[in-house]
Copies of this chain bind each other. A is one copy, B any other.
Amino acid sequence: MTKRPLDILDQVLNRQPVIVSLKGGREICGVLQGYDVHMNLVLDRAEEKEGETTRGIGTLIVRGDNVIYISPSREDTAKE
């Protein structure tokens, strides 16, 4: 049972927010409304995190070549 990377994105369209980690240390959280083969993304109700600051950005088109990973369901439980 293999999953194609882009098929996973289909499963989270218009669902719970996804976390998108971008090159350069930025992280954006939002509801995935669309994507294409380049991993260009449409995010709704997006929020951008840089260090401790979060700011709302509404709708967003992210150019795919900036993406490091997309996490549909991050638990975010820090262990040391």
A residues near B (Cβ < 8 Å) are 1-9, 13-14, 22-24, 26, 28, 33-36, 39-42, 46, 52-80
A71 touches B53 (CB 8 A): no
Q: Is the CB of A80 within 8 A of B68?
A: no
Q: How far is the CA of A26 from the CA of B21 in the complex (A)?
A: 12
Inter-chain contact A6/B58, CB cutoff 8 Å: no
B74 touches A68 (CB 8 A): no
| Chain B, residue nearest A74 (CB) | B57
Q: Please list 28 pairs of residues, one from A and one from B, whose beta carbons are closer than 8 Å in the complex, sorted by A's number.
A: A1-B14, A2-B33, A2-B34, A3-B33, A4-B34, A4-B42, A5-B35, A5-B36, A5-B40, A5-B41, A6-B36, A6-B61, A7-B34, A8-B42, A8-B61, A26-B68, A28-B69, A52-B80, A54-B79, A54-B80, A55-B77, A55-B79, A56-B75, A57-B76, A58-B74, A59-B71, A60-B69, A63-B69
